[in-house]
Amino acid sequence: MRQMLGALIACCHFELALAARSGRQCKAVPGTTSWPSASAWDALNTTLSGHLIAPTPPGAVCHPDQPSYNNATCAVVADLWMKSWAFHSEDPVSVAENNWSNDSCLPGPQYPCSGVGYPVYVVNASKPEHVQAGVNFARENNVRLIVKGTGHDFRGRTAAPNSLSIWTRYLRGLIYHESYQTCRCLSPQDPNAYNGPAVTAAAGENLGAAFALAKQHGSMIIVGSSASVGVGGFLTGGGQSLMSSRKGLAADAVLEVSVVLPSGGIITANACQNPDIFWAVRGGGGSTFGVILNFTVKAFLSEPVSSLQFGFQSPTLNDDKFWEAMTYMATQFTILGNSGVTAFASLALGNSTSPSTFAGVFQGANQSAAQTAAIMQPLADHFNSSYGSDIQSQITDVKEYTSYYDWFLAQQGETNTPLGIDLALASRILDEKALNHPNFAALIKKAAVPAGVAFNGVAGPGTHAYPSDFNAASPAWRTGYIHAIVGTFWPPFDQAAKAAAIEILTYNTTGALRELAPDTGSYLNEANSYEPNFQQAFWGSNYPRLLAIKRAIDPGDVFWCQACAGSEQWEVTNGVLCHV
Residue 530 burial (CB count, 10 A)? 16
Q: Is residue 3 scored above 90 in pLDDT?
A: no
Question: Per CATH, which fold does 305-534 belong to?
Answer: Vanillyl-alcohol Oxidase; Chain A, domain 3 (3.40.462)
The pLDDT assigned to 2 comes to 42
Mean pLDDT of 149-157: 93
Q: Is residue 425 scored above 60 in pLDDT?
A: yes
**Whether the Cβ atoms of residue 359 and residue 310 lie closer than 8 Å to each other:** yes
Every domain of the chain with CATH number 3.30.465.10 lies at 174-301
The pLDDT assigned to 446 comes to 97
pLDDT band at residue 414 using 50, 70 and 90 as cut-offs: low
- Is the pLDDT higher at 130 or at 24? 130
CA 291, 294, 297, 299: dihedral to nearest 10 degrees?
Answer: 140
The average confidence (pLDDT) of the chain is 95
pLDDT band at residue 185 using 50, 70 and 90 as cut-offs: confident
* pLDDT tens, position by position, 426-439: 999 999 999 999 99
Q: Is residue 86 scored above 80 in pLDDT?
A: yes
Bridge pairing between strands 121-124 and 163-167: parallel
The pLDDT assigned to 183 comes to 86
* pLDDT tens, position by position, 443-499: 999 999 999 999 999 999 999 999 999 999 999 999 999 999 999 999 999 999 999
**Whether the Cβ atoms of residue 261 and residue 290 lie closer than 8 Å to each other:** yes
The pLDDT assigned to 12 comes to 52
Say which CATH class 2-170 falls into: alpha beta
Spell out the alpha helix ranges (H) of 393-494. Answer: 404-410, 432-435, 440-447, 461-464
The pLDDT assigned to 77 comes to 98
The pLDDT assigned to 468 comes to 98
Mean pLDDT of 99-124: 96
Q: Is residue 523 scored above 80 in pLDDT?
A: yes
Give the Cα separation of 554 and 552 in Å (integer): 6
In this prediction the pTM is 0.95
Q: List the end-to-end C-alpha distance of the chain, in Å, as a whole number.
A: 31
DSSP 451: T
**Whether the Cβ atoms of residue 111 and residue 250 lie closer than 8 Å to each other:** no
* 17, amino acid identity: A
The pLDDT assigned to 9 comes to 47
Q: Is residue 16 scored above 80 in pLDDT?
A: no
Residue 71 burial (CB count, 10 A)? 10
The pLDDT assigned to 17 comes to 53
The pLDDT assigned to 481 comes to 99
Which candidate, 340, 341, 334, 337, places its Cα nearest to that of 433? 334
Q: Is residue 15 scored above 90 in pLDDT?
A: no
Q: CA-CA distances (angstroms) from residue 358 to 93, 214, 346, 348?
A: 37, 34, 6, 7
pLDDT band at residue 1 using 50, 70 and 90 as cut-offs: very low
Spell out the alpha helix ranges (H) of 183-318. Answer: 207-216, 231-236, 244-247, 275-281
The pLDDT assigned to 99 comes to 96
> Does domain 174-301 sit in CATH 3.40.718.10?
no
The pLDDT assigned to 413 comes to 76
* pLDDT tens, position by position, 167-183: 999 999 999 999 999 98
* pLDDT tens, position by position, 333-360: 999 999 999 999 999 999 999 999 999 9
Q: Is residue 22 scored above 60 in pLDDT?
A: no
Every domain of the chain with CATH number 3.30.43.10 lies at 2-170
* pLDDT tens, position by position, 293-317: 999 999 999 999 999 999 999 999 9
Give the Cα separation of 246 and 342 in Å (integer): 9
pLDDT > 90 in the chain, percent: 93
The pLDDT assigned to 126 comes to 98
Every domain of the chain with CATH number 3.40.462.20 lies at 305-534
The pLDDT assigned to 417 comes to 78
Q: Is residue 552 scored above 70 in pLDDT?
A: yes
pLDDT band at residue 109 using 50, 70 and 90 as cut-offs: very high
The pLDDT assigned to 21 comes to 45
pLDDT band at residue 19 using 50, 70 and 90 as cut-offs: low
The pLDDT assigned to 23 comes to 63
Q: Is residue 13 scored above 90 in pLDDT?
A: no
String of DSSP letters for 290-308: -EEEEEEEE-EE---EEEE
**Residues in the chain, how many?**
580
